[in-house]
Amino acid sequence: MRLKTTLFLLALLAFISSLIGVYVHYTSLQASFLSQAREEGESKAEAMRIKLSAFLSEQLKPVSALAGMEQLEAALIDQGEAEIKAANKVLDHFNSSLGVDVCYLMDSKGKTIASSNRFDADSFVGQNFKFRPYFQFAMRSTPRTYLALGTTSLKRGVYFSYPVHSDKRLEPIGVVVIKDRMERLEELFSTGSGELIFLTAPSGLIFASSSPKYILTSDRKMSPETQSELAASRQFGAGPWQWSGFSFPAADTAYDREGKKYLVYRREVERFPGWSVQILLESDYDYLNYLKPLYSENRPLVLPLILLICVSVGILYRRASTEVLQRRNAEAALRQNEERFRTLYNQTPAMLHSIDPSGKIVRVSDYWSEL
């Protein structure tokens, strides 16, 4: 029974060793593919940063060209009906050619005197935007790109401002602005790969997102002081801004309200200090996305291999058990034959004896002792 137990244990160890081998191979592949997933996530984040930087500088040259148009200078100097009409015509032309949201012209006090949306319900004409940083910087001869929620249109946009100069004055006489649509920016976020993409302000406010429900929410819980400061800036409306539900216990990890884990890939936005683009990829999705092809390709091989190992171990164990049983039966039969021979040898009424090859008597029957 002890030998049979030993064989069983050996078979069991062989089976367990096979399973351990499969598990070690599987985990090593898992680690390899997760590492590959992280590398691809970093590549996606970098590619998104480059696309975003290109978009945020796309209208810099057009707005510079627009600021150099003589019609805008004339409108700012004279502000007559004919001059304003000519300026509007130029603004309309740039607006339609570039496919942007609106182009408008402000005087040195921040009042809009001409705009391509002058016939719309949310016309900028007559509105004063001197509180906007893009106006203040441009009036100091510094072009500015600014991300904000419109106070008149209540639409998010990217504002490109540029100072308008006159040969008669050293300082700018006004500012021209191109406001681009956020839809064009968020088209970059529509990758169709299942990840979440956020464009986040220094305050933590999500200004653009691949998922609309997170737009103008905060990626962290804002204190009342932060809410007040953000409202005072008027950059993103009056607030209050709700928490998106995400928490970031580490720079590369996030959890939503339900506790679902995300891998986070983050890049800073060039020329926009504190702004960042974030790619959030579900941890389970990341894992399945890269292991599913491996599983699909190797499943026809792995399952039969495990089955073959199990069958082989079973056959070997059965064969070994059969051989052990046959050996035990043979040993029992041999002992029985020896016992029968010994009985016949000793009880035969004759003087039986056994002689070795040298002629020496080595055994005698019991009949000798009775004489």
Can you give the three-state secondary structure of 171-218, one letter per residue?
EEEEEEEEEEEHHHHHHCCCCCCCCEEEEECCCCEEEEECCHHHCCCE
Complete domains list, the chain, with CATH: 31-55+186-287 (3.30.450.20), 60-184 (3.30.450.20)
Q: 108 to each of 26, 173, 174, 175, how far by Cα in Å?
A: 68, 5, 5, 7
- Residues 237/153, Cβ–Cβ less than 8 Å: no
How many H helices and E strands in the chain? 9, 13
Burial 212-234 (b: 16+ CB within 10 A, else e): eebbbbbbeebeeebeeebeeee
Question: Global pTM?
Answer: 0.70
153 token code pair: 């249109």
The DSSP symbol for 349 reads: S
Q: Which residue shows structure tokens 């204190």?
A: 223
Please write the tens of the pLDDT for every residue from 133-167: 999 999 999 999 999 999 988 999 999 999 999 98
Q: Which of 204, 142, 210 is nearest to 182 (CA)?
A: 210
pLDDT given for residue 28 in this prediction: 65
Cβ atoms 79, 64 nearer than 8 A: no
- Asked whether 348 and 367 are in contact (CB, 8 A), the reply is yes
- Which parts of the chain sit beneath pLDDT 50? 1, 286
- Is residue 186 within 8 A of residue 210, CB to CB? The reply is yes
pLDDT digits (tens, 9 = 90+) for 85-100: 999 999 999 999 999 9
- Which residues, 6 or more positions from 65, have their beta carbon under 8 angstroms from its beta carbon? none
What is the predicted pLDDT for the residue at 317? Answer: 67
pLDDT value at residue 120: 93
Q: Phi and psi (nearest 5°) for 163?
A: -70, 145
The pLDDT score that the predictor gives to residue 54 is: 86
